[in-house]
Chain A
Amino acid sequence: MVEVVLFAIFALAALAGALVMVTARNPVHSAMGLLLSMFSMAVFYVMNGAHFVAAVQVLIYAGAVMTLFLFVIMLIGVDRAVDTDEQIPLQRPMVLLLGGGFVFLIFSAAWDAWITGRASGVCTVDCTGTIENISSELFGAWLLPFEATVLLLTIAAVGTVALAQFVIKPRLLESRGDEE
């Protein structure tokens, strides 16, 4: 029963955070809404026995990623402007229709559906996502993908540094402006 109450509280918190993120004019408020949503999901991970994933969620997502978002928001200035001019006619009503229809389609398709797969893992005794269980999986069967993520992160870091070093020459900018 406690679990149900916890689920209700944090489901509401996750939905409220997501709605605040989409609707808030101030990007800082959007970031705070997403933060609330992410913390709620960390709670859901704990309730599902995914303890390590919950810790990573709080450390990486709520900690590092959202700090980076807030840092960039502060860096480029809080832009409160809401432009209401439509580039595509009727885009906003269509988006609401699409979002609602998407949920309806998922629910109607999944209402009678069952997950028929079986777990192929080797955990027969204890399947909670503790660091021990996760690491024995990650550094066993999933070692090669794990090494690939090292490559990916290195490429991302190098690419970010390259983007930061990239300086646009003012002369080039003006000539491009004339062409437009």
Chain B
Amino acid sequence: MIPLLAQASTDGLTVEPHWYMALAAVLFAIGAAGLLLRRNALVMFMSIELMLNAVNLTFVAVDSGLGSLEGQISVLFVMVVAAAEVTVGLAIIVAVFRKRATASVDELAGMRG
């Protein structure tokens, strides 16, 4: 068993898995805040990538804590899905840009009721 965040042992200063998980939580929050703060569709997309990367970091950290490989397999699948998402998403952004000449999501209110 490994702790999620709190310090497990105090003997010697080594990097524990929960250090990575705390860092990943902060990175995820930064990504979520960036997704809501920015209006540029590209930067919003990058924020989503940052959130995915933070989750990947927790997978790998838990993996090394538990001594398994499934987390790393999951990371590979997340990367595949993220790559597919990026290609389709950027194609949508370019298609929208060709129509509206802007990458700002505030301009895209055509479906507002």
Contacts and interface: CB of A to CB of B under 8 A. Distances in A.
Interface string A74-118: 011001010101010001100110111011001100111111111
A152 B84 contact: yes
Interface of A: 1, 3-4, 7, 11, 14-15, 18-19, 21-22, 27, 30-31, 34, 37-38, 41, 44-45, 47-50, 52-53, 56-57, 60-61, 64-65, 68-69, 72-73, 75-76, 79, 81, 83, 85, 87, 91-92, 95-96, 98-100, 102-103, 106-107, 110-121, 123, 127, 129, 133-134, 137-138, 142, 145, 149, 152-153, 155-157, 159-160, 163-164, 166, 168, 173, 176, 180
A37 B53 contact: yes
Contact of A22 (B38, B102, B104): B38
B55 to A, nearest CB: 11
Interface of B: 1-6, 13-15, 17, 19-23, 25-34, 36-40, 42-43, 45-47, 49-50, 53, 56-57, 60-70, 72-73, 75-77, 79-88, 90-95, 97-99, 102-104, 106, 110
25 contacts: A3-B15, A14-B27, A15-B26, A18-B34, A22-B37, A22-B43, A48-B20, A53-B56, A53-B75, A61-B79, A65-B83, A69-B42, A72-B93, A76-B93, A79-B104, A81-B104, A83-B104, A102-B32, A107-B5, A110-B25, A113-B3, A114-B4, A120-B68, A129-B72, A137-B73
Closest 10 CB pairs of A and B: A119-B68, A99-B33, A22-B34, A156-B84, A110-B4, A48-B64, A163-B91, A113-B4, A110-B5, A121-B68
Contact of B30 (A19, A41, A79): A19
Given A65-B82, A79-B103, A133-B69, A116 B29 contact: no
Given A30-B43, A41-B57, A44-B60, A72 B1 contact: no
Contact of B69 (A44, A102, A113, A129): A129
B51 to A, nearest CB: 10
- The binding surface of chain A is classed by DSSP as helix
Contacts of B85: 156
Contacts, number: 235
Contacts of A81: 104
B92 A163 contact: yes
A7 B19 contact: yes
Given A106-B25, A114-B4, 16 more contacts: A21-B47, A30-B43, A30-B46, A48-B60, A48-B64, A53-B75, A69-B42, A76-B94, A85-B106, A103-B25, A103-B29, A107-B22, A112-B6, A121-B68, A138-B76, A155-B84
